[in-house]
Amino acid sequence: MTPRLPRDRTLHTAGITGVGMSFPERRLTNADLEKMVDTDDAWIVERTGIRERRLVEPGTGASFHGALAARQAMEHAGITAAEVDQIIVPTVTPDMVFPATACLIAHELGAVNAWGYDLEGACSGFIFALQNARAQIEAGHARRILVVGTEIMSSITNYEDRNSCILFGDGAGAIVVERVEPERLGIIDAIHHVDGVGIRFLHQKAGGSVMPASAATVAGKLHTVYQEGRDVYKFAVKGMAGVTAEVVERNGLTGADVDLFVPHQANIRIIEAAQQRLGLPDSKVMITIDRFGNTTSASIPSALRVACDEGRLREGHTVVLCAFGAGFTW
Ligand code: COA
């Protein structure tokens, strides 16, 4: 069944016309982690699906790979920096608390006609930013928007905590969202949730207004990810599988109509739960967690680029994106 675009409810249709990614060269393998904490390759692969992640050299900000990914996305879409109206940057690891990383990326790109802002949705940040971009375009406030998911997760990872340090990697993914002809392509539907019940299970304790940085917070490693993984896992399985099925079913579709499922890459077992719910074969599911780990807001846009490069994503495909993260958000 061909999904119908909600033409009657909007002035315009928004579609993704370009995708890009950028990752640092340096690899942190499971073998490397074996030398740092009490863990082993077999445990990490079986419990998470991760084999290696990429890490920046210290001092590299999120804007660096963000700008590179954005350039690739613009090139893919065939647009120039001057044609970009807005830049939205979902990230939990901005270059600085302020100004917004969007300002740094706009400056680096020479996007002199764009305004923009950062958006905090943790691992769901990219999905939330995409919805913002879509809404701006459908309402006629913008024609071309860059959404740049970029993270330096190594800057907030405690490499003495085996529960969390095995999970995260650095990198960036970017997309161009543009006004498109309604007959052609476009974003069909979206469902978003937040539930503050998740705060206690996944957060960064220090560095915000409640607990500003001090010698004690640094010594206590309170500027890194705190996660009660088992609890987050249970919520993530339920949230990812549920919302994925809901958005497909309420559009009169089934898994058979989906050409590609591009989920947030947090844990292979969470992805498999959502895959099973839709009855999708492996060939329709993007997996990049093995090579990049969990890159938070960068995981979905970079996986879209990998899908293009591998010939698995083509114009006209019906694609489902899904994420779950701190907040909880999904
Ligand atoms: N290597 C070896 N053993 C480890 C380990 C590691 N790196 N990390 C934890 N363990 C141990 C634990 O200490 C525990 O031992 P115990 O039973 O003696 O206490 C055992 O392995 C099982 O730990 P558990 O936390 O139950 O493992 P898990 O199967 O839940 O996997 C995660 C842990 C973090 C991989 C998993 O919970 C997860 O992916 N959670 C969700 C992450 C997520 O989606 N976050 C939101 C988006 S960012």
User: Mutate which of 163, 168, 203, 226 to test ligand 1's pocket (most atoms within 8 Å of Cβ)?
Assistant: 163
Q: Which ligand 1 atom lies nearest to the CA of residue 325?
A: 47
Which residues lie with the beta carbon below 6 Å from any ligand 1 atom?
Answer: 39, 43, 47-48, 123, 162-163, 166, 229-230, 232-233, 236, 266-267, 270, 294, 324-325
Is the four-CA dihedral 93, 98, 100, 106 of positive or negative sign?
Answer: negative
Q: Which residues contact 278 (CB under 8 A, 6 or more apart)?
A: 244, 245, 248, 254, 255, 258, 261, 320
pLDDT of residue 7: 47
For residue range 277-311, what is the model confidence (pLDDT) as tens digits?
Answer: 999 999 999 999 999 999 999 999 999 999 999 99
Q: What is the pTM (predicted TM-score) of this model?
A: 0.95
Mean pLDDT of 219-239: 96
Mean pLDDT over the full length of the chain? 95
Q: Which ligand 1 atom lies nearest to the CA of residue 294?
A: 48
20, 305 in Cβ contact below 8 A? yes
For residue range 94-129, what is the model confidence (pLDDT) as tens digits?
Answer: 999 999 999 999 999 999 999 999 999 999 999 999
The region that residue 285 occupies, defined by phi over 0 for left and psi between -120 and 50 for alpha, beta otherwise, is beta
Residue 264 pLDDT class (50, 70, 90 cuts): very high
Helix (H, G, I), strand (E, B) or coil at 328: coil
For residue range 13-52, what is the model confidence (pLDDT) as tens digits?
Answer: 999 999 999 999 999 999 999 999 999 999 999 999 999 9
**C-alpha dihedral (121, 122, 124, 128), degrees to nearest 10:** 20
How are beta strands 170-180 and 225-227 bridged, if at all? unpaired
Q: Please give the span between the terminal C-alpha atoms of the chain, in angstroms, as a whole number.
A: 26
Q: Active site residue: 30, 65, 76, 123, which one? A: 123
Percent of the chain whose pLDDT exceeds 90: 95
Mean pLDDT of 54-80: 98
Q: How far is the CA of 52 from the centre of ligand 1 (A)?
A: 17
Is 267 considered catalytic here?
no
